[in-house]
């Protein structure tokens, strides 16, 4: 069954924590990654529907982290409890 567009996707994004730990602003990360502040803000706030692997790769390079440091899956059961 295809998820409804209004349904949450179950992916949690941890950009705030990663930026804070590295003393970096969203604007600085956007500039270094090569994306707009708006697009990175959409990702940071959990409203993105997709991310290109090239963008994810670049974010990981700049933040010196793994994709799993940035993204976690909450799972269907946890989603229902929210």
pLDDT above 70 for 1: no
What confidence tier does 3 reach under pLDDT thresholds 50, 70, 90? very low
Q: Cα(63)–Cα(24) distance, rounded to whole angstroms?
A: 9
Helices (H), 1-82: 15-22, 26-33, 37-44, 53-63, 67-70, 76-81
Please list, in sequence order, all residues whose beta carbon lies within 8 angstroms of the beta carbon of residue 42, skipping any fewer than 6 positions away: 48
pLDDT digits (tens, 9 = 90+) for 44-72: 999 999 999 999 999 999 999 999 999 99
Q: Which CATH architecture is the domain 11-81 placed in?
A: Orthogonal Bundle (1.10)
Give Dmax over CA atoms of the chain in angstroms.
42
The structural domains of the chain, with segments of one domain joined by +, span 11-81
N-to-C CA span, the chain: 21
């Amino acid at each position: 069954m295809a998820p409804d567009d209004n349904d949450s996707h179950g992916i949690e994004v941890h950009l705030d924590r990663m930026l804070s730990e590295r003393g970096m602003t969203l604007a600085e990360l956007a500039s270094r990654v090569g994306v707009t502040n708006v697009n990175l803000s959409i990702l940071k706030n959990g409203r993105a529907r997709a991310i290109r692997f090239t963008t994810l790769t670049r974010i990981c390079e700049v933040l010196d982290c793994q994709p799993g440091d940035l993204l976690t899956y909450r799972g269907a059961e946890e989603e229902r409890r929210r």
